[in-house]
Structure formats: structure tokens, C-alpha cells
Amino acid sequence: MNTITLSQSAAKRINQIMAKEAPGSKLRISVNGGGCSGFEYAFDIDTQVKDDDLVIERDGAAVIVDEISAQYMEGSEIDFVDDLIGQSFQIKNPLATSSCGCGTSFSI
């Protein structure tokens, strides 16, 4: 299984967000059915890491991905982009055959 990676800008932003959360909090990313393209990413704050969760770490930041979602995100890079449109986390997913303009939904 290819690993899911975290960009330097995503790690920096996650650390900024988690500084305001309860100790031990981590960003959880999951893949759910729905969205305009079939699947969509969900972003939540979680303090519980389950035994089958994948934990991705970089520069002190940690992201949790459940085992099922990790299959849909294999080889992906989690990035944080700050451009004219606004700030957002983006998943660069090589498995996605198409994605929505909002960047939060995709199809395989």
C-alpha cells in the first residue's frame, strides 16, 4: 500500500489549528459516499485513535485516516493551499478519475 503524505504547508496549518484544540486532538480525514462526484472528503477534529487507523505525521502535525478511507486515498498528498480563491485543505489523489470544482468530492 502506498503511503499517504502530508505537505509542509498542510503540517504547518494543522499545527496552527490544533494549538487551539484540546490536548491530544488530531485532524481526522475520512471518505464518505456523496458529494457531486460520488465520494467526498470529511474533515473533523478527533481525540481518539482507533487500532486500525492510519496516522500520518510530519513536523509535529498528525492526521488520522480510518482503514476504509485510506484505501480510497492510497498514494495521496494532503496539502494546504492559500490562493485567491481562499484557504483550503486539498487532497491530491492519484486514484481519483474526476473531481468537483470545490475540491472536496471525487470519483474513482
pLDDT at 40: 86
Q: What is the CATH number of the domain that holds 83?
A: 2.60.300.12
Q: How many CB atoms lie within 10 A of CB 16?
A: 11
**Rg for the chain, CA atoms, rounded:** 13
58-106 pLDDT, tens digit each: 999 999 999 999 999 999 999 999 888 788 888 998 887 766 554 555 5
pLDDT at 2: 57
38-53 pLDDT, tens digit each: 788 899 999 999 999 9
In our burial notation (b when 16+ CB lie closer than 10 A, e otherwise), range 54-90 reads bebebeebbbbbeeebbebbeebbbbbeeeeeeeebb
Q: Total structural domains in the chain?
A: 1
The whole domain housing 35 covers 5-107
